[in-house]
Amino acid sequence: MKAVCWHGKHDIRVDKVSDPEIVNPRDVIVKVALTGICGSDLHLYNGKIPTMKPGDILGHEFVGEIVELGSAVTNLQRGDRVVVPFPISCGDCWYCKQGLWSLCDNSNPNSFLLEKMYGDTGAGIYGYSHLYGGYSGGQAEYVRVPYADVGLVKILPELSYEQVLFLTDIFPTGYQAAENCSIKPGDTVAVWGCGPVGLMAMKSATQLGAANVIGIDRFPDRLEKARANCNAEVINYEQADVAETLHNLTGGRGPDACIDAVGMEAQGTGLEAAYDNVKQTLRLENERPIALRQLIRACRKGGTISIPGVYSGFVDKMPMGAVFAKGLTIKTGQTHVHRYVRHLMQLIQLGEIDTTFIITHRMALEEAPGGYRLFNEKRDGCIKIVLNPKL
Ligand code: NAD
Ligand code: ZN
């Protein structure tokens, strides 16, 4: 089959590889209908996540049709159209039973590496390096899906693949980020980053009762999506002082909650430093958590900082004095996608939220190398690329 493979920093190729096979009774094989390129994939593209190996298949956002089932999967059938959450979760461990799906104890065979770096394990993720289990990803014609009996959600017959693709990751990620803000009616929520995750966070914040949302970025087309599709006030951080503008927009108080949908892009080389630490060579240079510092500064006293943006390794010199003095709450983490898929699919079905407005490019799998380049450089108005193996 064809698959989008990582061969090194800025080196993405479409290779011929062997088809996946059922390995465990709880596996299924999904024939991929659509698959997204995520901002998280850019961390791999830019060589920020160690333990990638040349030939690893990328992609953790995919929907498709079941073509083969392991003997233990009795709740699904061949031909079912399914959403596949990006974290791989066993459904049986203490964490899965608490609904903390992305913290699953059993799905990552290499989690000892994370344990050494961070003191605890983390779930497996499709196509996201050997730190996260070394699973083959979904930017391919077929994928092996482990623990399919707990992970997969059938797509309502009236919904198209495109309508539900973002339930695999960025819609639940934006929703969890907004939920973590404990929004009360009348609240103002500011979102740093008007990429796919930031836009989904803005939509979700409104859905959860925010009276005002404010989007911050530097790309005019992304700010325009925030304004036109998410009803947000917008701030171009290259043209205005962000904290000052936010204070002016909120009667001098600051937003009730601030969401960091930027992550590592504004950080530096954190994970490499942490990973080197495992190898006993600690490096801490290039640490610049710019957006996060701004969030802490701008947020009102007693407010919430919600961080869906991915950070890894060390983020040093954080203004903890401000966090303490202002009594801020910080919430973050990988999204517990399984928790949200059914509810959010219903919102899509009811027409309350349409997530397809973020799609700017539809491409064949073969075009993925150019797609990664385009998305990384944010050229041609690129916000979200959807790959279709049938094109
Ligand atoms: P993206 O790269 O398309 O968007 C990031 C946006 O942030 C860009 O538009 C960029 O211009 C903007 N930005 C950069 N520096 C900024 C600053 N200082 N102030 C304001 N805006 C700034 O990526 P995306 O797909 O939207 O993903 C965003 C983040 O969410 C990434 O870190 C990604 O890894 C993460 N993510 C996390 C989860 C999770 O489970 N928590 C899931 C999916 C994605
Ligand atoms: Zn993603």
DSSP characters over 331-367 = EE-S--GGGTHHHHHHHHHTTS---GGGEEEEEEGGG
Question: Looking at ligand 1, which atom is closest to the CA of residue 38?
Answer: 25
What's 140's DSSP letter?
A: B
Which residue from 222, 246, 310 has its CB within 8 A of the most atoms of ligand 1, so it is best to mutate? 310
Percent of the chain scoring above 90 in pLDDT: 83
Which residue from 126, 128, 173, 265 has its CB within 8 A of the most atoms of ligand 1, so it is best to mutate? 265
Nearest CA to ligand 1 atom 13: 193
Nearest CA to ligand 1 atom 31: 309
Interface confidence: ipTM more than 0.95: yes
Ligand number nearest to the C-alpha of 174:
1
How far apart, in Å, are the Cα atoms of 147 and each of 90, 126, 211, 359? 6, 12, 40, 30
Distance CA 133, CA 126 (A): 8
Q: What per-residue confidence (pLDDT) applies to 265?
A: 66
Model confidence at 276, pLDDT cuts 50, 70, 90, reads very low
What is the Å distance from ligand 1's center to 262 Cα? 3
Q: Is the pLDDT of residue 115 over 90?
A: no
Q: Is the pLDDT of residue 113 over 80?
A: yes
First to last CA, the chain: 14
Listed by start position, the domains of the chain span 2-168+336-388, 171-332
Model confidence at 266, pLDDT cuts 50, 70, 90, reads low
Q: Is the pLDDT of residue 175 over 50?
A: yes
What is the Å distance from ligand 2's center to 252 Cα? 35
Q: What are the tens digits of pLDDT across the range 311-344?
A: 877 666 678 899 999 999 999 999 999 999 999 9
Q: Verify whether ligand 1 is closer than 6 Å to residue 310 (CB atom).
A: yes
Q: Is the pLDDT of residue 168 over 90?
A: yes
Which residue from 86, 217, 222, 236 has its CB within 8 A of the most atoms of ligand 1, so it is best to mutate? 217
Ligand number nearest to the C-alpha of 293:
1
Q: Verify whether ligand 1 is closer than 6 Å to residue 198 (CB atom).
A: yes
21 vs 276 pLDDT, higher one: 21
Instruction: Spell out which residues have Cβ within 5 A of ligand 2, the ion.
Output: 38, 40, 169
Q: Verify whether ligand 1 is closer than 6 Å to residue 190 (CB atom).
A: no
Percent of the chain scoring above 70 in pLDDT: 92
Q: Under CATH, to which class is 2-168+336-388 assigned?
A: alpha beta
Pick from 141-145, 191-195, 287-291, 371-375: least confident: 287-291
Q: What per-residue confidence (pLDDT) applies to 318?
A: 77
CATH hierarchy code of domain 171-332: 3.40.50.720
Nearest CA to ligand 1 atom 18: 291
Q: Verify whether ligand 1 is closer than 6 Å to residue 337 (CB atom).
A: no
Q: Verify whether ligand 1 is closer than 6 Å to residue 178 (CB atom).
A: no
What is the Å distance from ligand 1's center to 169 Cα? 13
Q: Is the pLDDT of residue 148 over 70?
A: yes
Average pLDDT over the chain reads: 92
Is 2-168+336-388's fold the same as 171-332's? Answer: no
Structure tokens given for 223: 């700010």
197 vs 119 pLDDT, higher one: 197
Q: pTM score, two decimals?
A: 0.94
Nearest CA to ligand 1 atom 7: 193
Q: What per-residue confidence (pLDDT) applies to 61?
A: 98
Question: Looking at ligand 1, which atom is closest to the CA of residue 311?
Answer: 32
Q: To 5 degrees, how large is the angle CA 369–CA 1–CA 141?
A: 70
Q: What are the tens digits of pLDDT across the range 36-66?
A: 999 999 999 998 888 999 999 999 999 999 9
User: What beta strand segments (E) does the chain contain?
Assistant: 2-8, 11-16, 28-37, 56-57, 61-69, 81-84, 87-88, 124-125, 142-145, 153-154, 188-192, 212-217, 233-236, 257-260, 304-307, 329-332, 359-364, 384-388
